[in-house]
Amino acid sequence: MAKEITIQILNEKGNKQTFKQNFIPASKVIRALDLIEQNNSERPMRDVIAERLNFMVEVFDNPKITEETLLDGINGIDLMNTLFDFICNVAGVDPKAMLAMETESQSKKQDDKS
């Protein structure tokens, strides 16, 4: 069975709805890797969120998945984690490993400054 990417959101009636995508072009994998490696420290968080939401919309070939339905259907408490986990899943990398690498990189930069 082919690997699927899924997202579960609340629909306008408040019911959970699951969307699946079982074909993702390799170009989206490359784009996901670019998003992971992108330095967002100088960018407004609103722009980062919009870019990541737009990427999610592009991955799904379902007209029911829009930036609006994602914003209204994803729990805001988990928004950033949901977006990052989704992008990592598309890229085929472990989100926890990516965060650990980022933390290690930041620690090394702090050590270098000392």
Does pLDDT of 29 surpass 90? yes
Whether residue 2 is contained in a domain is answered as no
Long-range interactions of 52-58: CB distance < 8 A, separation 24+:
52/83, 52/84, 52/86, 52/87, 53/83, 55/28, 55/31, 55/87, 56/7, 56/83, 56/86, 58/28, 58/31
Whether residue 109 is contained in a domain is answered as yes
How many structural domains comprise the chain? 1
Residue 1's pLDDT is 43
Whether residue 80 is contained in a domain is answered as yes
Q: Which domain holds residue 108?
A: 24-113
Does pLDDT of 76 surpass 60? yes
pTM of this structure: 0.82
Whether residue 97 is contained in a domain is answered as yes
Where is average pLDDT lowest: 17-21, 49-53, 81-85, 101-105? 101-105
The pLDDT tens digits of the residues spanning 31-75 come to 999 999 998 889 999 999 999 999 999 999 999 999 999 999 999
Q: 86, 49 in Cβ contact below 8 A?
A: no
